[in-house]
Amino acid sequence: MDARGRFPFESRIANGLANLLKESGSHTDALSLYDKNVQQFPFDLFSKLGRADLLKRLGNYEAALDAYDQVLSVWPQFARARNAKASLLAIAGRLAEAEGLLPDVPPQTEDDWIASTFAG
Do 66 and 7 lie in one domain? The reply is yes
Do 49 and 91 lie in one domain? The reply is no
**Chain segment 24-69, per-residue pLDDT in tens:** 999 999 999 999 999 999 888 889 999 999 999 999 999 999 999 9
Give, to the nearest 10 degrees, the angle between helix 45-57 and helix 11-23: 10
The secondary structure of 36-92 as a DSSP string is: HHHHH-TT-HHHHHHHHHHHHHTT-HHHHHHHHHHHHHH-TT-HHHHHHHHHHHHHT
Do 98 and 84 lie in one domain? The reply is yes
Domain holding 98, by residue range, is 77-120
Q: What is the tally of structural domains in the chain?
A: 2
Do 71 and 88 lie in one domain? The reply is no
The amino acid at 50? G
pLDDT band for 14, please (50, 70, 90 cuts): confident
Do 15 and 50 lie in one domain? The reply is yes
Do 71 and 98 lie in one domain? The reply is no
pLDDT band for 104, please (50, 70, 90 cuts): confident
H or E element, residue 4: helix 3-6
Q: Give the pLDDT confidence score for residue 33 in this predicted structure.
A: 92
In whole numbers, what is the pLDDT of the chain averaged over residues? 87
Do 103 and 70 lie in one domain? The reply is no
The amino acid at 76? P
CATH number of the domain that 61 lies in? 1.25.40.10
Do 71 and 86 lie in one domain? The reply is no
